[in-house]
Chain A
Amino acid sequence: MNLKFIKTDLYLSIRSWLRSKGTVFWTILFPILLILIFGAIFSGQDDIEYNLAVQNFDETDLSSQFISIMEESTFFNITTVNKNFEMADYMQENDFKIGLQIPDDFGETIQRYFVDNNVSVNITYFTDPTEQTTGPIVQSIISGMLNEYNNIITNSHNVVGMDHESILGEEFDFIDFFVPGMIGFTIMTSMVYGSIERNTKFRKDGILRKLLTMPVTRYEWIFSKMLFMMFLSFISTFVILVFGILVWGLSIQLNIFFFIIIIATSFMFSGLGMLIGRFVRDPETADMAGGAITFPMMFLAGTFFPLDQMGAELQVIAQFLPLYYVNEALRNAVIYNDIEKTFFFMGFVIAFAVIFFTLGVVFTKWKED
C-alpha cells in the first residue's frame, strides 16, 4: 500500500474541492436546504390553523357559545359571514376552503331538547371538493367538537377516552424521525454521482489509462478516493445535524453504530456508482442512469414519507432497496435506540456494502478492449 500516494491524493482532492466554490457551496447548501424545507414541513404539523368561514343565522347565546368553543381551540381562525351573503358564493369569492353554517333554529332546538329529548338540529359544513386533505381533517375536528358540545348539553361524559403517548418518548419530534432518511439520501447521491464521475470523466480524459501504466493498483486508487468521498459524506452529515439541532432542536443519540452505518453506506453507494460507470461509459448518460436509480429509491425507501403511507406492493418493493436498510438502521441506531433492530438493519447495510463495493472494484476496468 503506497501510503504516500494515498496521503497526497486525499490532501490534493480536498484542496481541489475547496477551490471549486460552486461545489463547496452546493455540498453544504444542499443538505441545509433539505433540513430547512422538510424541517419546516414536518415540524409545523402541530401548529396548523385552518381559516374557517362561519355564518350564524341563530340569534341565541348558545350558537355564540359554540363558536367561542371553536375559537378557543387552536385549530381555527374564524371569519364571521354576514347573513345576507350566499355562503357558497362568499367562500368562492373570498378563497375559503371550509365553512360552517348555523341554522336559525340552533338555539331554539337545544332549548326544546330539555323538554323533548327527540329533537335535533344540523349545522351545515361547506367544503371545496378540490381540497381533498383539509376538508376531511377539519370535518373530523368539528365532529369531535360537536360530540363534546353534545356532552355538555346532555350533561353526560365520555366513559371511554384516549390518552396519547409517543412511542419515541417525550423528547422526539417528527423531524428526528425524518433526519436519518435525509442523511442516507444525501450520502447516496454524493457517492453515486462521485463514483460515476471517477469512472466516466476520468476514463474519457485518459487519466485511468495513464494510471494503468503507473505503479498504482486499482485497489489503492479506489481506496484513496473512498477516503475523500467519506470526507464529503461526513461534511454533509455534520451540516444536517448542526442545522437540525440549531434550527429545529433536533435530539438524536450519536453512537458508534451511527458512524459504522455512515461508512458502510458510503462504500455501498460508491460501489453502486462504480457499477453504473462501468457499464454506461458516456458521462452524461451515466449521470442520467444514476438519477434513474437514485430518484425512485429516494421515494420508495421511506426517506421522506413513512412506508406505512404507501401501498402494500410498494412496501414490498422497499424491502429490496438498499436505502431502506440505511434509513431503518440509522433510525434504530440514533432514535429508537433499539440495539437488536440496529444490528439487524446494519447487517444488511454492511452486506450490501460488501457486495456492491466488491462488484464495483472487480468490474471496474482500466484496460481498454
Chain B
Amino acid sequence: MVEKKVKCPQCGNIITSSGIPGEVVPVTCPECGKKGKVTFEKTGSSENVAIEAINLKKVYGDLAAVDSISFNVKKGEVFAFLGPNGAGKTTTVEMIESIRTPTEGTIKILGNDISKYFDKVKDKIGILPQEFLSFERFTVRETLVYYASLYKNKADIDEIIDMMDLKDQENKLYMNLSGGLKQRVGVAISLVNDPDIVFLDEPSTGLDPKARREVWEVIANLRNKGKTIFLTTHYMEEAEYLADRIVIIHKGKIIAEGALEELISNYGEENILRIKNCKSKDIISILKDNDFETLSEGNGDIAIKIKYKEQILEVLSLLKHECVDYSTIDIRRSNLEEIFLKLTGAKLREAS
C-alpha cells in the first residue's frame, strides 16, 4: 500500500489517499466535496525502468527509518531523493546499493531482484557513498586505476579525467585536493566501469557554493551522457537545478513525488508579487476593489497573490494610475522549500 498526497483543484486542500501501484483510487475532497481520482503509478518492471523499490521498509528497534515506500526511477533521468537529515534518504539508497538489508520490500535494478542477483548488477552501477574519502596517498590517476582494476569492463581513464575536468589534477595526491575536487574524484571513481546507473549520496554536502556549483555541472554533464542518476540531497536548490523527477521524503515516508513543475502545480501556492515600502495607504483597498487578494505585511510592504500572468500588468497599471510611490517590486513563485513547509509544517533547513 502506497500513500499519496494530492491538492484539490477546487479549494487547494491537500488530500491524502492510499492505493497500490497501478491502481486508480476515487477521492472526495473533505473541504469542498469535489470528487476526483488519484492514479498510483505502476512500479512493475518495464524496459524503461532502471530502479524499482516496492514497499521498502527498514526498522531499527521501534523506529521505522524507512516506512513502506515505493517508487521507480526511469532510465536516463536524474532522480532526486530530497529530504532533511534523518528523513531516510541514505538508508533508502544504501538498501538499493545492497549496503543495508531491507526489513521488508523488494528492490530491482535493471529488472534484477538485488536480494538474489546483486552480483549481476555490480558492473552496471557506480556509487559515490555519503562523506566518501579515498586513499590519501594515491594520485588522482592511481585512484581511478585502482578502482578500475576491479572491473572486467572498464571505461577509458583518460576520458573520465577529461570529462571530470581533472587533467590538471591527475598527478596530485588525493590528500592534497580541495573538498570540491575530492567530490569530483569521487564521482569519477563511480564512472570507472562505465555504469548505466550512478548513485550520488549527498554529493555536495559540506562544499562551498562555488565547489557545489562545480559538482552540479559534473552531474548535469553525466545526465547529458545518458546516465541514470539517483541523487540524494537535502539542498532544494540542487534538486531544482538537476532533477527531472523529485521524491520528497520525510520521517521515512514519501510525501510528494513528481517533476518540479508538477510539485509546484500540485502543492505550491500561487505566485506572489511583493511591493516594498509602498507610500499609499489606499492602495490595498484599491487592489481589493479590483479583485486582488492582498496580504499586508507591515511597514508599507504588500504581498499580492497572482493567479495568472496578466494580473502582473494590471497591478503595475494600477500603481501607475494611482501615482503610488514604492521602492521595489519582485515576483516569486513557490519553491520546494515552501512545498515542504506546506506538507510537513516544518522548514526543510530547520528539519535538517
Please say whether chains A and B are actual partners in one complex: yes
Instruction: Given the known inter-chain contacts A212-B99, A213-B97, A213-B125, please indicate yes or no for A206 contacting B142, CB distance below 8 A.
Output: no
Does A207 count as interface, using CB distance less than 8 angstroms? yes
On chain B, the residues within 8 Å of A205 by CB distance are 131-134
Instruction: Given the known inter-chain contacts A215-B151, A368-B94, please indicate yes or no for A16 contacting B137, CB distance below 8 A.
Output: yes
Identify which of B97, B134, B150, B173 contacts A207 (C-beta below 8 A): B134
CB-based contact A369/B100 at 8 Å: yes
Q: Interface on chain B toward A: helix, strand, loop, or mixed SS?
A: loop
CA distance in complex: A12, B135 (Å): 10
Q: C-beta contact mask, A63-84 vs B, less than 8 Å → 1, else 0?
A: 0000000000000000000000
Shortest Cβ distance from A207 into B: residue: B134
Which residues of B in the span 134-153 have a Cβ within 8 Å of any Cβ on A?
Answer: 134-138, 142, 145-147, 149-152
Which residues of B in the span 95-136 have a Cβ within 8 Å of any Cβ on A?
Answer: 97-101, 119, 122-123, 125, 127, 129-136
CB-based contact A8/B145 at 8 Å: yes
Shortest Cβ distance from B125 into A: residue: A213
CB-based contact A209/B150 at 8 Å: no
Closest approach, in angstroms, between the C-beta of A206 and any C-beta of chain B? 4
Shortest Cβ distance from B189 into A: residue: A210
CB-based contact A367/B100 at 8 Å: yes
Identify which of B101, B132, B147 contacts A214 (C-beta below 8 A): B147
Which residues of A in the span 332-369 have a Cβ within 8 Å of any Cβ on B?
Answer: 366-369
Max chain B C-beta neighbours (<10 A), residue from A9, A15, A19, A213: A213
CB-based contact B142/A215 at 8 Å: no
On chain B, the residues within 8 Å of A209 by CB distance are 94, 97, 99, 129, 132
Closest approach, in angstroms, between the C-beta of B108 and any C-beta of chain A? 16
On chain A, the residues within 8 Å of B189 by CB distance are 210
CA distance in complex: A214, B125 (Å): 9
CB-based contact B125/A206 at 8 Å: no
CA distance in complex: A367, B150 (Å): 19
Taking residues whose C-beta sits less than 8 angstroms from the other chain, chain A's interface range is 20 to 34
On chain A, the residues within 8 Å of B142 by CB distance are 12, 15
CB-based contact A368/B100 at 8 Å: yes
CB-based contact A19/B99 at 8 Å: no
Shortest Cβ distance from B90 into A: residue: A368
Closest approach, in angstroms, between the C-beta of B183 and any C-beta of chain A? 12
On chain A, the residues within 8 Å of B151 by CB distance are 214-215
Closest approach, in angstroms, between the C-beta of A172 and any C-beta of chain B? 42
CA distance in complex: A214, B145 (Å): 14
CB-based contact A215/B150 at 8 Å: yes
On chain A, the residues within 8 Å of B150 by CB distance are 2, 5, 214-216
CB-based contact B149/A210 at 8 Å: no
Closest approach, in angstroms, between the C-beta of B232 and any C-beta of chain A? 14
Shortest Cβ distance from B127 into A: residue: A213
CB-based contact B146/A367 at 8 Å: no
CB-based contact B135/A207 at 8 Å: yes
Which residues of A in the span 281-321 have a Cβ within 8 Å of any Cβ on B?
Answer: none
Closest approach, in angstroms, between the C-beta of B189 and any C-beta of chain A? 8
* Count of A-B residue pairs with CB < 8 Å: 77
CA distance in complex: A2, B152 (Å): 10
CA distance in complex: A213, B131 (Å): 16
CB-based contact B99/A16 at 8 Å: no
Does A157 count as interface, using CB distance less than 8 angstroms? no
Does A20 count as interface, using CB distance less than 8 angstroms? yes
On chain A, the residues within 8 Å of B101 by CB distance are 367
CA distance in complex: A69, B263 (Å): 106
On chain B, the residues within 8 Å of A206 by CB distance are 129-133
Closest approach, in angstroms, between the C-beta of A330 and any C-beta of chain B? 32
Identify which of A12, A19, A20, A213 contacts B98 (C-beta below 8 A): A213
CA distance in complex: A367, B138 (Å): 25
Does A164 count as interface, using CB distance less than 8 angstroms? no
On chain A, the residues within 8 Å of B135 by CB distance are 12, 16, 207
On chain B, the residues within 8 Å of A5 by CB distance are 149-150
Closest approach, in angstroms, between the C-beta of A198 and any C-beta of chain B? 11
Which residues of A in the span 6-23 have a Cβ within 8 Å of any Cβ on B?
Answer: 8-9, 12, 15-17, 19-20
Shortest Cβ distance from B129 into A: residue: A206
Which residues of B in the span 146-174 have a Cβ within 8 Å of any Cβ on A?
Answer: 146-147, 149-152, 173
Which residues of A in the span 192-221 have a Cβ within 8 Å of any Cβ on B?
Answer: 205-207, 209-210, 212-216
Instruction: Given the known inter-chain contacts A209-B94, A214-B150, please indicate yes or no for A12 contacting B129, CB distance below 8 A.
Output: no
CA distance in complex: A216, B149 (Å): 10
Closest approach, in angstroms, between the C-beta of A282 and any C-beta of chain B? 15
Which residues of A in the span 158-206 have a Cβ within 8 Å of any Cβ on B?
Answer: 205-206
CA distance in complex: A54, B147 (Å): 76
Closest approach, in angstroms, between the C-beta of B299 and any C-beta of chain A? 49
Shortest Cβ distance from A367 into B: residue: B99
Identify which of A9, A366, A369 contacts B146 (C-beta below 8 A): A9
Shortest Cβ distance from A205 into B: residue: B133
Identify which of A2, A4, A207, A368 contacts B99 (C-beta below 8 A): A368
Closest approach, in angstroms, between the C-beta of B196 and any C-beta of chain A? 14
Closest approach, in angstroms, between the C-beta of A223 and any C-beta of chain B? 14
Shortest Cβ distance from B131 into A: residue: A206
CB-based contact B127/A210 at 8 Å: yes
On chain B, the residues within 8 Å of A9 by CB distance are 146, 149
CB-based contact A8/B146 at 8 Å: yes
Closest approach, in angstroms, between the C-beta of B210 and any C-beta of chain A? 24
On chain B, the residues within 8 Å of A368 by CB distance are 94, 99-100
Max chain B C-beta neighbours (<10 A), residue from A2, A17, A366: A2
What are 17 residue pairs bridging A and B, where the CB atoms are less than 8 Å apart in the complex? A9-B149, A12-B142, A12-B145, A15-B137, A16-B137, A17-B137, A206-B129, A206-B131, A207-B132, A209-B129, A210-B129, A214-B122, A214-B151, A366-B99, A367-B101, A368-B100, A369-B60
Q: Which residues of B contact A (CB under 8 A)?
A: 60, 94, 97-101, 119, 122-123, 125, 127, 129-138, 142, 145-147, 149-152, 173, 189
